[in-house]
Amino acid sequence: MTSWTLGERFHQRYPHLSGVKALWETKWKVPCQLSVYPFHDGLFEDFEPIFQRLIQDNVNDGYSDTYTEYFLPTAEKLTDAALSAQASDRARAASLFKRAACVYRISRFSSIDAGTGLKRRVFELQKQVYLRGASLWDAPMQEVKIPHTAARGQDGNEVPLFVRLPIGSNSQNRCPMVLLITGLDGHRPDNTGRTDEFIARGWGCVIAEIPGTADCPSDRRDPESPDRLFTAVLDWVDKQPQFDMRKCIAWGLSAGGYYAIRLAHTHHARLAGSIGQGAGTHHFLSREWLEHVDDHEYPFVLSEAYVSKYGYKDWEELIRNAQKDYSLLDSGLLDGPCCRLLLVNGTWDGLMPIEDSILLFNHGGPKEGRFYEKMLHMGYPPANECIWPWMESLMATTA
């Protein structure tokens, strides 16, 4: 039995998992009031009545269509208000579109492939309202669909990306670039705060989703499909005259951290650096860890979303095979060359064990890391205090 840094918490079932009432009151209500990720300004007045109705009607399954349906009237009302404001008050319209997109986002938990297809339809609505609002920003966000030039086997032929550029960037004024790699349930429209920070620093960004989630075309059952995906993405970015590819950093979030670490090895010569935040590498797919992962800080049980993401027949097949199929340690990649790599997480992460970040220091070249004592998944709230300076330093010194 592994002696996890998580300690006795490894064997505990976290209080928010007892139902939607506990989820709202112990996990989401205060972040919503404080406008902390994944919420933002103005959302408490949207979510409080929704969750009170869910609590009253005892709706507890976040994977169900029923859960999703409770959010839709509010999202539609916000969208209508945004459309009405668009001609006279662009800033208000943009804010309302963003709120509508966030309501749609929380409604589609925990996997857009769950249920009868409603959650995937909601994801399409989320993208539509998000891009309507993003078109009103001074530095707009746009969707770009590029050919998957490295596709093979069951890969799709097109890679949808979100792209945002700082004002004035062009072939004569090229900008540094961040490749933002999304997670299990946070997809392309869920990163406004991060892209605002990029734009404020004069950096452009390209946002890509990971295999098995959202619109990613990669074969979810092929462990090498992400290598082909990022070859296609980086090849496309290389051809865009506004990006300074000498200053390209990848940043993988949560489940996306695994891909940022993989990318740091497979495409090390094409990156100035990479960040694996809240990342799994090996232990997170072990039977011992997976048998308890449904008890920790994910808002709902995690197993159903994992089965969908990795494409296994059921949970038992995943537990039996996932580490063998997807371990970065067992693949030998971690002993190969790597670009500069920053690892960030909380030591009490119950989704991706901190051991998965620590083990990288014993393989390949030197790594950099910042682990936040007794913080949960991703190391929030303080994690960004180390990420932004690290990125700024790398952008400033890379020639």
From the centroid of its chain, how far is CA 350? 17
Question: Of 162, 168, 161, 140, nearest to 242 (Cα)?
Answer: 168
Give the span between the Cα atoms of 100 and 97, in whole angstroms: 5
Give the span between the Cα atoms of 307 and 291, in whole angstroms: 13
> Which tokens belong to 293?
């992962």
Query: Is 254 noted as a catalytic residue in this protein?
Result: yes
359 and 282 Cβ atoms separated by less than 8 Å: yes
First to last CA, the chain: 47
Catalytic entry in 155, 244, 349, 356: 349
Query: Is 377 noted as a catalytic residue in this protein?
Result: yes
Integer CA distances (angstroms), 267 to 231, 233, 399, in order: 8, 11, 18
Q: Which helix (H) or strand (E) element contains residue 241?
A: none
Phi/psi at 59 (5° precision): -95, 110
Q: 3-state class of 23 per DSSP?
A: helix
Quick one: residue 168, left, alpha or beta (phi over 0 = left, psi -120 to 50 = alpha)?
left
Catalytic entry in 254, 274, 308, 327: 254
Please state the length of the chain: 399
Question: Of 338, 354, 212, nearest to 282 (Cα)?
Answer: 354
Q: Where are the beta strands (DSSP E) in the chain?
A: 141-147, 158-164, 175-181, 204-208, 243-253, 273-277, 340-346, 368-372
SS3 for 305-319 is HHHHHHCCCCHHHHH
Give the span between the Cα atoms of 319 and 315, in whole angstroms: 6
Query: Is 308 noted as a catalytic residue in this protein?
Result: no
Question: Of 294, 236, 218, 355, nearest to 63 (Cα)?
Answer: 294
Amino acid at residue number 357: S
Give the span between the Cα atoms of 89 and 294, in whole angstroms: 45
Active site residues: 254, 349, 377
